[in-house]
Structure 1
Amino acid sequence: MRTFEERLASPWLRGPLAALAGALPVLAFPAPSWWWFAYVAVVPWLLLARAAPTPRRAAYDGWCGGFGFMLAMHHWLLPSLHVFTVVIASLLGALWAPWAWLVRRFLAGVPTRGRVVAALLVLPSAWLCVELVRSWQGLGGPWGMLGASQWQVAPALRLASVGGVWLLSFLLVAVNVAVAVLVAVRRARVPALAALLATAAAGSAAWVWSPRPDADGTARVAVVQPGLVDGTDSGEKRFDREERLTRELAGQGVDLIVWGESSVGSDLAERPDLARRTAALSRATGADILVNVDARRSDRPGIYKSSVLVGADGPTGDRYDKMRLVPFGEYVPARSLLGWATSVGKAAGEDRRRGTGQVLMNAGHGLRVGPLVCFETAFPDMTRRLAGDGADLLVGQSSTSTFQSSWAPVQHASLAALRAAETGRSMVHATLTGVSAVYGPAGQRIGPWLGTDASATAVYDVELADGVTPYVRFGDWPVLGALLVLAGLFLTEGARAFRLRRGFAPHVPPARTAHESPVRPGR
């Protein structure tokens, strides 16, 4: 009978186990929201890659684990993209193959303390580089970064103000590596314990040292969430419902009213009646209204998703066109090659057009608003740029109606907490069908969530903050540090390989001169 170790060497068992191990961290994200699980969720994956019989097998374990992670994180896409979701997860999962190869390189067998100390820097750095690559908009963006699982943990949010979600991901992987060493490598427990203590000390230091946002007044912001609208002429029915809900805000002293993504289905220049009705709502409530138009524009070709500010006299001229579009949802990459995706799922039949730059809007009452549209709230660089440009309030307009019964709405709403903490700016996440939420400048939740079953309005007293956080000032420095660690590793390994090659070079005897003759035996 084969032992468990012999069975574990079988690719038919290791592959599914690696995929399952890679999927485990998803439980730390909403909807389960087991944030504490993120500190040990990667340990099974680490132990499996560490015990791989060969480096190639370790890389394959990394690929399978990455596939499991990406598929579990984006499982709610299956009804829309069908088999293409599996294809995407397979391609992106390969990014973790080098990471798992490094796991075996540093932790296999009985590693020395020096190798363990190096692993505590190299493995989190390699993970961060994986997140950096897959954060490119064309590969799906930074949805599901490990650090994002800590969106409701106050000390973690404070750390995010120092190094963004990148720093959280680095520290979480470092903790997982330390726990894996404690479990599997007894002789190296001292550096593992030291790493855990160092992480705790870093969190405590950030809590004490990192500057807190300075309060600079408040704003009264209302969110209008119409909820699901079925049947024909759904765009007109949605506008009617948004109009009715917005009228209920009259007399409540709001400074800004925010509608969700695609809340207006026609270009306002083409539909002056909608512009007049929205302006009348602004006059009735005494507040500017930030709507989102998803329509073909009258002044240029193509369909745009645009945040448009409407005041008492109509559109104010402040407009932001969405820059980062959802692959397959709003455009098909390399449509000539991948256009077949439209026949097997709900991929975009026509590509949306991109905006050319971010904007700040003057929403009245001295309020400077930085708008983002849906998918863009996952990108920390966009909110950091808006905060650096002087935004008082960040606003994300979203619609996750297609994924109403999945984990997607609450996952999306949680991202705004991180963006608020990173920038020290309150953030409003307004949706058509939930989940709508508002967070303060430290990432703390303000007021009620509007869930996916709600058709309602909510008014929030939002704190406005001044100054910039270390993350806004210094940017993605954890990513730069990770790249430097890996560059140092490659230089060290290259120098070591060069020395070994020279040390094992074959000995070549010196050439004999013409007057020399070989010594014959017996002479």
Structure 2
Amino acid sequence: MRKFGHWLTSPWRRSAVAALAGALPVLAFPAPALWWWAYGALVPWLLLARSAPTARRAAYDGWSGGFGFMLAMHHWLLPSLTVFTFVIAALLGALWAPWGWLVRRFLAGDGTDVPTRGRLLAGLLVLPSAWLGAELVRSWQGLGGPWGMLGASQWQVEPALRLASVGGVWLLSFLVVALNVALAVLVSVPASRAPAVAGLVATAATASAAWAWAPRPDADGRTRIAVVQAGVIDGPDARFDREEQLTRRLIGQDVDLIVWGESSVGYDLGDRPELAERIAALSRATGADILVNVDARRSDRPGIYKSSILVGPDGPTGDRYDKMRLVPFGEYIPARSLLGWATSVGKAAGEDRRRGTEQVVMDAGPGLRIGPLVCFETAFPDMSRHLAEDGADVVVAQSSTSTFQWSWAPEQHASLAALRAAETGRPFVHATLTGVSAVYDASGRRVGPWLGTDASTTAVYDVPLADGVTPYVRYGDWPVHLALLVLVALGLTEGARTVRLRRNAPAPLGPPARTVHGSPARPGR
């Protein structure tokens, strides 16, 4: 260990180790999906930042680890954004620099190896709060959105999904970090095992109490929803023909709604009325409304929009949702005048898509109200929560990850729908153009099969509907608000401590007495 510690005296080596440690949690997400790995994946990173010789070095450990985490989580962007992926990871990784500084502050005391018990107990609250602070900032759509939030790794754990209905994915992230902090203390501070065990017990007790208290969704009927997944097909005309062919398979299957994937129609239906009529004919033949997604320049206003459009037996019903939150660089380039060069080094957007202005709930047949989202928007907990507040019976997301078809991205994307279902207490349909498509009930449990990236097919799902309001829908992002209050209290405490130390510092010595011919000068001479 001493040799390894000596090896880490090199700043570059230490930063490389921190980046590797920060990358470890990605194994808890799909495709590996080792959900249990998240419960200890942060420990190496925590121990490294705790051992930093200075507070500044601990901040660098946090930054380097954040870089590794962001790069590993978004490694599938490399073929599209090339070198710009590293730039984004470095910028977002800086959000964990304060977290690294706080790790040393609370787990190593004032530069010593024996922090007080009070400081360790405070760290069990402060460090998860600081992690949520980093996740909150990077969740801003302009910085890439909340893809890869630590709590999202628990999407297939039923007790965790139950907790998500209480405090959303934010609560899961908080608890996972708290567990890692307690384990790090157990490993690194044997003399302070009592606070670590207390932290583990408190985390388990809080999680168990919330799990037991959380209300379960009330069953409220069923609906039959079909997903049409075209598969990888070049060209909008060939794609439309395949979707039409697949939809005809649903004739006689008594479905209530048919959902096509993102960019399933490559032309504005106002410019191509014959396409609208072909979809309407499919609606008449199947007896169900069809939710399509148009990615095209609009005929009624300037610019390209991605729009969910409901088509019934008589044509478009007038229900339309324009995507509001666009993918940075994929669908628009932030500050294009400054960063437009990204188009020359990768597959960045050649022209910015236009944004919608409000969310929409659509009436899709008798007694069925759906709330549409488009692709990237499923990563944002607030959007599905608002749809549930507005009365949606089912949240329907239309997606396409065809650019990243053979990466981890499609499975990561499909897993997010389980969390959104559990948070809102509403079933969630994740329909994609090329896979992975999936459907979840109101508790976040999978309904029927996943449609993988090698499938070009249809699937019909018997989706149980639910009633009631989850605590997360009612109270919103309260774990984030709690975390911010903890950080504000920390800032006030640290500020008061700094002022107190300055006041109690000894006064500086005055200037030395003057001397005259080698002896001190006497007053009056």
Q: How does 1:332-411 map to 2 (within 5 A)?
A: 332-411=333-412
Aligned partner of 2:232: which letter?
Answer: L
Per-residue CA deviations over 1:260-287 (Å, capped at 9, x if unaligned) read 0000000001000100000000000000
Amino acid across the alignment from 1:174: A
Partner of 1:4: 4
**From 123, 140, 145, the counterpart of 1:141:** 145
Q: How many Å separate the matches in 1 of 2:501 and 2:65?
A: 33
CA-CA distance at 1:194 after TM superposition: 1.2
**Which residue of the other structure, out of 171, 178, 186, is the alignment partner of 1:174?**
178
Q: Does 1:215 align with 2:219?
A: yes
Aligned amino acid, residue 320 of structure 1: Y
Residue in 2 aligned with 1:281? 282
Partners of 1:9 and 1:52 within 8 A in 2? no
Deviations 1:201-258 (A, max 9, x none): 122212211111111111100000010113xxx1000000000100100111100000
Give, as a single letter, the amino acid of the residue that structure 2 aligns with 1:157: L
Distance apart, 1:183 and its partner CA: 0.3
In structure 2, the partner of 1:66 is 66
List aligned pairs for 1:122-521, cutoff 5 A. Answer: 122-230=126-234, 234-504=235-505, 506=507
Letter in 1 for 2:205: A
Look up the match of 2:120.
116
SS in structure 2 at match of 1:446 = coil
Q: Which letter maps to 1:352?
A: R
In the superposition, the TM-score normalised over structure 2's length comes to 0.95
Which position in structure 2 is the counterpart of 1:512? Answer: none
Count how many residue pairs are aligned between Structure 1 and Structure 2. 508
Cα distance in 2 for partners of 1:36, 1:448 equals 23
Counterpart CA distance in 2 for 1:2 and 1:460 is 59
Distance 1:2 1:371, change over 3 A: closer
Uncovered stretches (5+) of structure 1, i.e. residues with no partner? 510-519
Q: How far did residue 507 of structure 1 move? A: 8.1
- Deviation, 1:12, is 2.6
Match status 1:28 vs 2:28: yes
Aligned with 2:439: secondary structure? strand
Aligned residue for 1:515?
none
Contact 1:9–1:53 under 8 Å retained in 2? no
User: Aligned equivalents of 1:399 and 1:507: distance in 2?
Assistant: 67
TM-fit CA distance, 1:506: 1.9
- More deviation in 71-80 or 190-199? 190-199
Question: 8 Å contact 1:437–1:450 — kept in the other structure?
Answer: yes
Classify the secondary structure of the residue corresponding to 1:308.
Answer: strand
Following superposition, the deviation at residue 435 of structure 1 comes to: 0.1
4+ residue stretches of structure 1 with deviation over 4 A?
none
Q: Distance in 2 between matches of 1:507 and 1:228?
A: 75
Q: Give per-residue Cα distances to partners, 1:82-124, cap 9 Å, x unaligned.
A: 0000110011111100100000011121111011001000000
> For the residues of structure 1 that align with 2:105 and 2:208, how far apart are their CA atoms?
32
**Whole-Å separation in 2 of the counterparts to 1:505 and 1:280:** 87
**Structure 2: distance between partners of 1:463 and 1:201:** 31
**Of 490-499 and 428-437, the range deviating more from structure 2:** 490-499
* SS of the residue 1:143 aligns to: coil
CA distance in 2, matches of 1:276, 1:201: 58
Q: Give the fraction of aligned pairs with identical amino acids, expressed as a percent.
A: 80
Native 8 Å contact 1:399 1:433 kept in 2: yes
Within 2, Cα distance between the matches of 1:336 and 1:486? 36
Q: Deviations over 1:273-326 (max 9, x none)?
A: 100000000000000000000000000000000000000000000000000000
Farther-moved stretch of structure 1 (208-217 vs 415-424) = 208-217
